[in-house]
Amino acid sequence: MKLEIPDGEFAGYIFDLDGTLVDTMPLHYQAWDAAMRDAGLKVTLDEELFYSLGGVPTLRVAELIAKHYGLTIDPHRVFHVKESHFKELQGNAALIEPVVEVARRVAKTHPVAIASGGPRDVVRRSLELAGLAPMFKVVVSADDVVHGKPSPDMFLLAARQMGVEPTECLVFEDAEPGMRAAEAAGMKWVRVASRR
């Protein structure tokens, strides 16, 4: 994987987690497929639909998938079922080495942060299982903001907690909502091709 990093000096670096640092997206897909079937979905969850929602907070994903298929669901119940399935699979995730390598390098000299649409406990556990938790002192999750990606709120909060101006941050993202959020925050971004 070749990362196209824009020229310039950056004071802080913000990383999405799922599909950016850790290859969890196929595991999330399996968990969503199981949870939506449990909620009444009679077909296999469309992968394109799932990947188009990358970075969107989990509760909102449940609502959007249900709407797409015309299902009436309790989003909180589906959320909990999905997270339960994901936690069973979580230990199987591999690191996305080119991005992890960048994170390790820049963390030696600059503040780094996580900005993930996942719930805080799942994000923390993913970082711990991947051995990345000690590197990230700043972790922003869906639990920390009212509006998730594509709103800029997560990235702005991460910049504030790092003590860095938003325009001086570089974001690493694999999903369109996250890239739009980075732009809305006034940040440059690097696309991570998470789907191989």
pLDDT tens by residue, 117-130: 988 999 999 999 99
End-to-end Cα spacing for the chain: 9
Give the chain's domains with CATH numbers.
Answer: 12-24+94-191 (3.40.50.1000), 25-91 (1.10.150)
**To the nearest whole percent, how much of the chain has pLDDT over 90?**
86
**What local confidence, expressed as pLDDT, does residue 196 receive?**
46
Q: What pLDDT, in 10s, does the model give residues 50-97?
A: 988 887 888 899 999 999 999 999 999 999 999 999 999 988 899 999
**What local confidence, expressed as pLDDT, does residue 22 receive?**
95
Q: Across the chain, what does the average pLDDT equal?
A: 94
Residue 159 CA to residue 188 CA, distance in Å, equals 13
**What local confidence, expressed as pLDDT, does residue 91 receive?**
86
What positions carry a catalytic annotation? Answer: 16
